[in-house]
Amino acid sequence: MSDPARAIAFHVLRAVAERDAYVNLVLPAMLDEHHIEGRDAAFVTELVHGTIRRQGTYDAIIGQVATKGIASIDPPVLDALRLGTHQLLNMRVPPHAAVSETVDVVRREIGHKPVHFVNALLRKIGQKDLDGWLEVVTAGLEGDEARAVRTSHPLWIVKALHEALGGHGAQIDKLLAADNAPPRVTLVARPGLCEPDDLPGIPGTLSPYARILDAGGDPGAIPQVRDGRAGVQDEGSQLVAISLAEAQVDGSDTRWLDLCAGPGGKAALLGALAKQRGATLVANEILEHRAALVRQGVRLLGNVEVTTADGRHGPWEPASFDRVLVDAPCTGLGALRRRPEARWRREMADLDELVPLQTALLTRALELVRPGGVVAYATCSPHLQETRGVLETVTAGRDDVNIESTHQWWPHIDGTDAMFCALLRRS
């Protein structure tokens, strides 16, 4: 490989497309395999994340210059064109290098046949800057349709986020821009195991346990993270665990439950908070490989029991817990800035399966918490069907459940993922 950085970026995109791989898993592995570090690693990371985030916009631009349209382009060639387009329009790469290096990747990784085609298209794309192309590809579009192309979000997601924001145009524009901004790494100091001041970075703005890293690097190399006394966790996620732990309960407060604990970030923080009060935590996860991640995260906490069961039908007695967390499986629309491939994998039809599951899990949690106890219902999605819609469905006709509070955090307002949390009390 004459340019291993761009070749690695190409292979990551192919893994994401062909194997449904996750960027946060496959990219570090490829960087390690090829011993790519420092500035070269940062270049590959920006190239991959930026290309996938802006894929929708780039596809619209490529479709403008491809005579037969984007549907006629073979997927590997299209991925190479996306990489070249990102370098031309959104990176500080000289145009001649963006074109020639991308063409070289095509020649070496795909073959000679599409070389001329890729070279010609990228040269056409390089004739305008990003603003110029945005004028072209959004011509005739208005409102959310224009936003979808301009900010590289599927239209159904733009509409759902816009609705969740109450239809405010200025707010949706800020949120979509925040989705496209690379987030900084946030650490959490697990109480009783680590002090926040022991960690690098600046204090978080919302969680007392948070530290935000200023620069890149591998957080796994930080000693406290490596040995399990701290972790990598968005402040919004931390706030969900903190909200449940700080809610007032009547009577005993010794038995807590995390009904959907994988991969374990909230369980580790919740378990640490529980230990400080002499309480135990049952951290349940339906999938064994995710339960293994939970065990790894709570390995220093002797008060946490990790179980593997379907949260809707687990072997627990009704009214046997004082606090229950339901961090429900969801569309993940609140974490699009962290998971660049997620916006292209989710479909509106996914709600048909997820919302009934969320409803069943919250219903079960309310059976498991005792009268006077508290349930926290959380989703990393602001979609109204997954948040307020689920609450309305579950509490309709019940006089033994009171919704005490709801909170929606936002990337563009709070600097967190778009995390939703509701506190419900059994009477």
The two tokens of residue 165 are 């924001």
Q: Which residues are catalytic?
A: 380
Rounded CA-CA distance 259/111 in Å is 50
Rounded CA-CA distance 371/114 in Å is 67
**Sequence-ordered list of residues with C-beta below 8 angstroms from that of 366, at least 6 positions apart, any chain:** 375, 394, 401, 424, 426
Strands 420-426 and 202-203: unpaired
Distance of CA 193 to the CA centre of its chain: 26
Element spanning 374, H or E = strand 369-379
Identity at 385, one-letter amino acid code: Q
Contact between 230 and 222 under an 8 Å Cβ cutoff? The reply is yes
What is the Cβ-side half-sphere exposure of residue 185, based on CA atoms within 13 angstroms? Answer: 18
Place of tokens 């816009």: 162
SS3 assignment, position 390:
helix
The two tokens of residue 138 are 């959004």
Q: Tell me whether the omega of the peptide bond preceding residue 315 falls within 30 degrees of 0, making it cis.
A: no
Rounded CA-CA distance 5/341 in Å is 20
What are the distances in angstroms from CA 206 to CA 176, 381, 384?
Answer: 22, 19, 24
SS3 assignment, position 386:
coil
The full DSSP string for 116-136 is: HHHHHHHHHHTTS-HHHHHHH
